[in-house]
Structure 1
Amino acid sequence: MRKQIILVMVDTQRTDMVGCYGNPVIKTPNIDKLASLGLRYTNAQTTSPVCAPARGALFTGLMPHSNGIVTNSCSIYDNIKTVGQRLNDNGIHCGYVGKWHVDGGDYFGNGTCPDGWDENYWYEMKNYLKELSDDDRKRSRKSKTSFDKDWTREMTYAHRCSNRSIDFINKFKDEDFFLTVSYDEPHGPCICPAPYNTMYNGVSMPDSTNYADDLSTKPLSQQLWSNKNINKSAEDLQKPNDHLALFLGCNSFVDDEIGRVLETVYKQCPDAIIIYTADHGDMLFNHKLNSKNCCAYKEVLNIPFIIKGGAVGIVDSPATHLDVTPTILDYMGVEIPPIIEGKSMMTQIKDGVTKINNEVYSEFTRYELIQDGNGGFQPMRCVFDGRYKLVINLLHTDEFYDLECDSDEVYNAINDPAYKEIREALHEKLIQEMDRTRDLYRGYQWAMRPWRDNKAPSFRNAGYVRQREESEMYEERQFSYDTGLPMEEAIRIKIIGADKKSLNNK
């Protein structure tokens, strides 16, 4: 049997924008069908609420702070390999069609195929724009173009991505391959043809008590982000509007395009593993916030995640994009080097019950390198165990939510003594994970929180040296500073100053 994996990804989709996740108003029959054939994850979490950091983690198996993309408009570090490079270097054909957004360029990318992917199928947004006239480029960036009768399905980026993907599948159906189909839709400007452009007129998002969240116990950054919305009523924030109608219409339109690709996969590659997800969600005025930025609410972190490849059912335990790359490597029989921070999900994909993660992690540093605004530097780290969520906002008020008792994440229980034990246990796990993944910004500041009265600052922090352990296919084993020889252990206690004197006296 051939080993084939197809990853289908959209930009900006919450779980309540997919029918099979429980919103009967939303029409996504093709994604729903895929869910009926595989595993649907209810507590999957992106590694970041913004595009490029989320995508960088998915395609490297490394957290944003480890792969270099801590904000939009940054690129992956030169010494970090993508899943495409690792597979291609092991003789597995890789195709990438659609939005990339991890090359450090502008929103549309630099148009050049990176190492590891088939250049004949590379088709990011800059390539699409270059197919259009100057006038049509401008039209492609305006939502109102959805109502121009001459802007047919064939003019959309989604349709052209589907065409290329279908061609790749038909051509290489008898080979091992990994194909990514990455749509920009339903991200703004949300262009979609009839009937999708009017399908959701008059539609609102589901009811939630958090439309009335006054943010008084939340970080200052969220209050500033809310701006004038903080004084609006829940009714005003939830009411139908033209942008939401097009956004949801585009969401159903891209589902239709996804259906074209999936039907080809079902026919040509019936045994292929299919992974479906989104990079992040959108606040859509929940908590009086819009779009995405520095927050860890479910509307922006909890993303659709569906895998067809073995078991069928629902997985409620935490899942993360960080595990996508090691899962693909594992299935393809390619080494998962120690540098990879995620885990393979293959056992769970096969049996549907194995628990891969007790907790998953997300982060934020800033929105975009090229923009002065959007809150600027807002370092945030989050840990979520499927029920409890701890959010450390380094410069502001921290947050703690019990989603079993408060599914809308309105009550900030960061100072509630009833949660002291579980809150501090999650805090310890978060700090340990920052150390394990060599978080660029780790330090005592994350431990010294106002609600944590049993922590003392330490200049040494955990006190370890943590060197890279990459596959020797790419990198010679690093040398130890102390010996000049290849390191025996990559993670070891750092002996300095008084410690050396103490050891010498023994």
Structure 2
Amino acid sequence: MSQQTKPLRNVLFIMADQLRWDYLACAGHPHIRTPHIDALAARGVRFTNAFVQGPVCGASRMSTYTGRYVTSHGSAWNFVPLSVAQKTLGDHLQPHGVRCAVVGKTHVEADTEGAVRLGINPDTDPGRLVMHGGFEPYERDDGIWPPGFKVEDNRYCDYLRSQGYSGDNPWHDFANSSMGEDGKLHSGWQMRWAAESARVAQEHSETPYMTRRAMDFITEQGEQPWVLHLSYIKPHWPYVAPAPYHAMYGPEDVQPAQKTQGEKADPHPVYRGFMNNTPSTTFSRDEVRETVIPTYMGLITQIDDQICQLMEFLRETGRDQDTLIVFTSDHGDYLGDHWMGEKELFHDVIVKVPMIIVDPRPQADGTRGQACDAIVESIDLAPTFLSSLGHMPPREWLEGESLESLLHDRQGEWQKDMAVCENTFAFRDSVRLPIGAPVDRCNMTMVRTNEWKYVHIDGLRPMLFDLVNDPQEFQDLGASPDHAGVREQMQRRLLDWLFCRRRTIGITPEGIQTWNTRELKAGIDIGVW
């Protein structure tokens, strides 16, 4: 942090789930209406080349929360526990008296086995933080309650019941389902009903509820410093929106799918497996896209309207003057592009995410309204939060870099020129079994520069895309004889990256530098004659 830069007091860390980078008006979408998120971009910096470290919720979020790559923290997919040995943002903030809390989703899977082994009591405040990835669960709710599931001990469902939405699972039966003309419940898990309005009133739906709970937290904090992770579950499926958002857009607002017949001609075996998944075969149909995408867009506009409410609240309370505001996503959504549905591979529509940062300090005045095309990663957020609050990011733990130099018009200091993203297809039988891969040999690692995207896949040929001449990633050059040199170069970059992971997390770089001096002072004379 610059000596002249006064620290901020708070961080409002907003994350939408499964929001594509290109589904904002400020990012160029011709039809979607997001004036309030656009206003954030006008007040801050919009990063046009921001990449996540995992193309699924769990791995991506654990990297963001720890500031570490997937290889380093080990939580490589959804529902893989985050080891109690890992330090998270909350762990780094706690010694400085900063309250770190979540309203909404984290997808943190608790390492209960590790807690038992180390004698950590999850019912105590320290134990609770460990079980929730370093976030105080002020209003944690990961959502996704299947139909027929009895939801208990859930504040949002209790709230719905208090508003007259009765039943074992009001999350599904009201907030994420519609009612057909025949009087039958139309489950939001079936995308054919996406154009119908949810049974819940707009003000009672998830997004406004979580916004209000975020404002409750900020109000309770008063003048005490905080980091609040407001994590919306939408526009993640079920693709269901309350009125009027369910009918705000129509098929005429749907952009053509980014796909070619050539992609299906002779695809990489892993790509073929994912194209054969149910979400992919479903989203390859025009009627599905024309039904689902307008609702997806409506859910985004609902988030945008809630951003308006939240920003007005910050201005009224004066918190807009001392709070760093971040808006981003954990990954995108194929929505039929590349013959795919859902996520999990490494096309830019998945691994590139929106990232907008508003720094209210005068040092950021020179970059307001700018679109920054530097390559940045989600792991850069944790060190940015710490440095903005005036705390030195612990380099022995964090593998990201603070974005303050880019926010404060010191672009020459930024050195990062590639992004890394990791995943496994071990959990997808339709991909793994046809290949005959054992579950421990299903790893995939993407290295992306401005010119090339290289994907290493265990035991199989890589994938390669020329981002200069093929920016939509239609032609896989992973087997092209003419590009053997490029593949070798990108593999070398991957190996160099692997060799540079943090290996001495228990000691600071400064501690390492003084080690020889400490040995001599202690009288440890090794090898003396």
- TM-score, normalised with respect to structure 1: 0.79
Tell me which moved more, 163-172 or 75-84.
163-172
Per-residue CA deviation, residues 309-365 of structure 1 (Å, 9 max, x unaligned), is: 122211112111011111112222144131221111111111163434111100102
Aligned to 1:53: 59
In structure 1, how many angstroms separate the alpha carbons of the residues matched to 2:25 and 2:261?
25
CA shift, 1:128, in A, is 2.2
Aligned to 2:334: 283
- Say whether residues 1:411 and 2:475 are aligned partners: yes
**Map of 1:235-254 to 2, 5 A cutoff?**
236-237=285-286, 240-254=289-303
Per-residue CA deviation, residues 256-283 of structure 1 (Å, 9 max, x unaligned), is: 1222222223442223211110000011
In structure 2, how many angstroms separate the alpha carbons of the residues matched to 1:28 and 1:212?
33
In structure 2, how many angstroms separate the alpha carbons of the residues matched to 1:147 and 1:380?
38
User: Which of 129, 134, 156 is the aligned partner of 2:157?
Assistant: 129
- Aligned partners of 1:280 and 1:302 also within 8 Å: yes
CA shift, 1:208, in A, is 5.4
- Aligned partners of 2:461 and 2:479 also within 8 Å: no
- Aligned partners of 1:45 and 1:320 also within 8 Å: yes
Per-residue CA deviation, residues 440-482 of structure 1 (Å, 9 max, x unaligned), is: xxxxxxxxxxxxxxxxxxxxxxxxxx4433569xxx99xx9xx
- Say whether residues 1:348 and 2:397 are aligned partners: no
Q: Given the superposition, is the C-alpha separation of residues 61 and 396 from structure 1 closer, same or farther in structure 2, using an over 3 Å criterion?
A: same
SS at match of 1:84: helix
In structure 2, how many angstroms separate the alpha carbons of the residues matched to 1:314 and 1:410?
26
**Map of 1:403-442 to 2, 5 A cutoff?**
403-437=467-501
CA shift, 1:291, in A, is 0.6
Aligned to 1:102: 108
In structure 2, how many angstroms separate the alpha carbons of the residues matched to 1:234 and 1:122?
31
In structure 2, how many angstroms separate the alpha carbons of the residues matched to 1:210 and 1:470?
49
Q: Given the superposition, is the C-alpha separation of residues 213 and 200 from structure 1 closer, same or farther in structure 2, using an over 3 Å criterion?
A: farther
| Aligned-pair Cα RMSD in Å | 3.4
Aligned to 1:499: none
Structure 2: any 5+ residue segments left out of the alignment? 1-5, 112-121, 144-153, 162-166, 178-187, 434-438, 521-526
User: Which of 462, 468, 475 is the aligned partner of 2:505?
Assistant: 468
User: Which of 401, 418, 440 is the aligned partner of 1:359?
Assistant: 418
User: Which of 322, 330, 355 is the aligned partner of 2:387?
Assistant: 330
In structure 1, how many angstroms separate the alpha carbons of the residues matched to 2:278 and 2:136?
46
Q: Given the superposition, is the C-alpha separation of residues 337 and 469 from structure 1 closer, same or farther in structure 2, using an over 3 Å criterion?
A: farther
Aligned to 1:492: none
CA shift, 1:225, in A, is 2.0
User: Which of 305, 325, 330 is the aligned partner of 1:274?
Assistant: 325
Tell me which moved more, 168-177 or 399-408.
168-177
CA shift, 1:40, in A, is 0.9
Aligned to 2:129: 114
In structure 2, how many angstroms separate the alpha carbons of the residues matched to 1:76 and 1:118?
16
Q: Give the AA of the match of 2:356.
A: I
Q: Give the AA of the match of 1:289.
A: M
Aligned to 2:436: none
Aligned to 1:305: 355
Structure 1: any 5+ residue segments left out of the alignment? 439-465, 481-485, 489-503
In structure 2, how many angstroms separate the alpha carbons of the residues matched to 1:400 and 1:124?
35
In structure 2, how many angstroms separate the alpha carbons of the residues matched to 1:430 and 1:149?
46
Per-residue CA deviation, residues 5-34 of structure 1 (Å, 9 max, x unaligned), is: 111000001122111110121111111111
- Aligned partners of 1:212 and 1:233 also within 8 Å: no
- Aligned partners of 2:14 and 2:325 also within 8 Å: yes
In structure 1, how many angstroms separate the alpha carbons of the residues matched to 2:287 and 2:355?
26
Q: Give the AA of the match of 1:348.
A: L
- Aligned partners of 2:197 and 2:243 also within 8 Å: no
Tell me which moved more, 332-341 or 232-241.
232-241
Q: Given the superposition, is the C-alpha separation of residues 189 and 113 from structure 1 closer, same or farther in structure 2, using an over 3 Å criterion?
A: farther
**Map of 1:188-203 to 2, 5 A cutoff?**
188-203=237-252
User: Which of 151, 155, 158 is the aligned partner of 2:207?
Assistant: 158
Q: Given the superposition, is the C-alpha separation of residues 186 and 228 from structure 1 closer, same or farther in structure 2, using an over 3 Å criterion?
A: closer
Percentage identity across paired residues of the two chains: 23
- Aligned partners of 1:209 and 1:408 also within 8 Å: yes
SS at match of 2:55: coil
CA shift, 1:381, in A, is 0.4
In structure 2, how many angstroms separate the alpha carbons of the residues matched to 1:231 and 1:11?
19
CA shift, 1:168, in A, is 2.2
Aligned to 1:138: 172
- Say whether residues 1:15 and 2:15 are aligned partners: no
In structure 1, how many angstroms separate the alpha carbons of the residues matched to 2:234 and 2:95?
31
Q: Given the superposition, is the C-alpha separation of residues 39 and 398 from structure 1 closer, same or farther in structure 2, using an over 3 Å criterion?
A: same
SS at match of 1:134: coil
CA shift, 1:487, in A, is 11
Aligned to 2:235: 186
In structure 1, how many angstroms separate the alpha carbons of the residues matched to 2:44 and 2:280?
44
Q: Given the superposition, is the C-alpha separation of residues 148 and 101 from structure 1 closer, same or farther in structure 2, using an over 3 Å criterion?
A: same
In structure 1, how many angstroms separate the alpha carbons of the residues matched to 2:430 and 2:104?
28
CA shift, 1:103, in A, is 2.1
SS at match of 1:128: helix
Q: Given the superposition, is the C-alpha separation of residues 366 and 233 from structure 1 closer, same or farther in structure 2, using an over 3 Å criterion?
A: closer
- TM-score, normalised with respect to structure 2: 0.76
**Map of 1:60-75 to 2, 5 A cutoff?**
60-75=66-81
Q: Given the superposition, is the C-alpha separation of residues 284 and 213 from structure 1 closer, same or farther in structure 2, using an over 3 Å criterion?
A: farther
Aligned to 1:261: 310
- Aligned partners of 2:104 and 2:139 also within 8 Å: no
CA shift, 1:426, in A, is 2.2
**Map of 1:386-405 to 2, 5 A cutoff?**
386-405=450-469
Q: Give the AA of the match of 1:338.
A: E
Aligned to 2:10: 4
Higher helix proportion: 2
